[in-house]
Amino acid sequence: MSGPLTGYTVIDMSRYIAGPYCSMLLGDLGANVIKVERRAVGEDSRGLLPFKKVGDDSVSLYFTQYNKNKRSLTVDFRNPESIELLKKLIAKADVLVENFRAGTMDKMGLSKEALKEINPSLIVTHISGFGQDGPYKDRAAFDCIGQAMGGLMGVTGENGGDPLLVGTWAGDFTTAIYAAYGTVSALLHKEKTGEGQHLDLSLVECTSTILATAIPNYVANGVIQPRRGNRDDVTGPANLFKCKDGNIYLHAGTDPLFKRLCKAMGKPEIAEDDRYNIVEKRMKCIKEVEAIVQQWIGNLTTNEAETALVEVGVPVTKIADVSDIVNNPMLQHRKAIGYVEYPGVGEIAVPGICVKMSGTPGEIRYRPPLLGEHNEEILKEYLNLSDDEIKELYARKII
């Protein structure tokens, strides 16, 4: 059974996370993704921590996390002959994904005009910190800059405390998902019209879209959202609570859920109290409400609290660490983590396929590639080159 993007070819010239994660999502759904890397050294993330090492062999788990379902082709980005070879490949492709700083592709000889001449129906997905034009287009960025300028750090942390980075590269992942959905939309347009187009995604802009109500509340009311720690600032109680042996997070913020919580606590009358019976009132005295919940929960273990709240239908969970995630029976059932064999080091974990499609499911077809592992295969498949022609490319350091 084929994935929904089977038959499309994606040239991935990107690095680190946002671009590679975008192209990996396309590959997960069947696209044929060719990862174009620098000859001899490879994509930058091949050298980043953490590593899995077995004897003299090692692999970057940073690289493998974002590069399954791809084949690797190496070129010299500074060699005009390598660029000419790459152009021939681009002519056969449907999509090109890149996340260089704005203007870098022009310097390579791969400007918008050049790409249109090579392949008029090509979809080019540009990912950068600040967009392809505008006042900051020449500035460099990583996820941390996206979180800081995009507002995510500003709303993260304890009230009155310093801003905090989210514990993962949330800006990069958000941008990658926007880029993937935009690319698929452009492919749909191409199917209808035959037209290619350029997509322009900014890390800062994409990050700024996930701030919930912070922006509209400021525009409407002039309110700058304070940092709120773990508390939901819209409904309550919804916060982290301490049990005898650890922490749980529960959300009983809606009025029906609050009634269920009070039932579990053995205090149904609290839900009828005029001070607490609707969410707007509870939020005015939320610390008082949380203290009532904490008094009850503090006498229970995490297992006891979770069991009691699940029984009445209140959303609740213990706080998972990575070992809990790997061993979670629900995630195991969904195959949220995939396992593949990598040469020299054995089994490694990679992301599973999150979108479970009944008719055209994605699958893990390729483990993350070795550097240049598929040079010959790709050049024969797409450009019909002979063994002797490929040997000549190696000899001249074009690949």
Catalytic positions, written as ranges: 172
Helix (H) or strand (E) holding 347: strand 346-351
Query: Which of 132, 22, 23, 13 has the alpha carbon at shortest distance from 82?
Result: 13
* 3-class DSSP assignment, residue 379: helix
CA atoms of 7 and 26, how far apart (whole Å): 11
Q: How far is CA 288 from the centre of its chain?
A: 38
- Long-range contacts made by residues 291-298, C-beta under 8 angstroms, separation at least 24? 292/265, 292/267, 293/237, 293/241, 293/250, 293/252, 293/261, 293/265, 294/241, 294/242, 296/265, 296/267, 297/241, 297/242, 297/243, 297/248, 298/241, 298/242, 298/243, 298/244
User: Which residues are CB-contacts of 123 (< 8 A; sequence separation ≥ 6)?
Assistant: 94, 95, 96, 183, 186, 187, 190, 196, 197, 198, 199
Q: Contact 93/86 with Cβ under 8 angstroms? A: no
CA atoms of 259 and 268, how far apart (whole Å): 7
CA atoms of 360 and 353, how far apart (whole Å): 12
Query: Which of 277, 276, 296, 297 has the alpha carbon at shortest distance from 286?
Result: 276
CA atoms of 306 and 251, how far apart (whole Å): 12
Q: What share of the chain is helix, strand, coil (3-state, %, to 5)?
A: 40, 15, 40
Residue whose structure tokens are 């396309």: 26
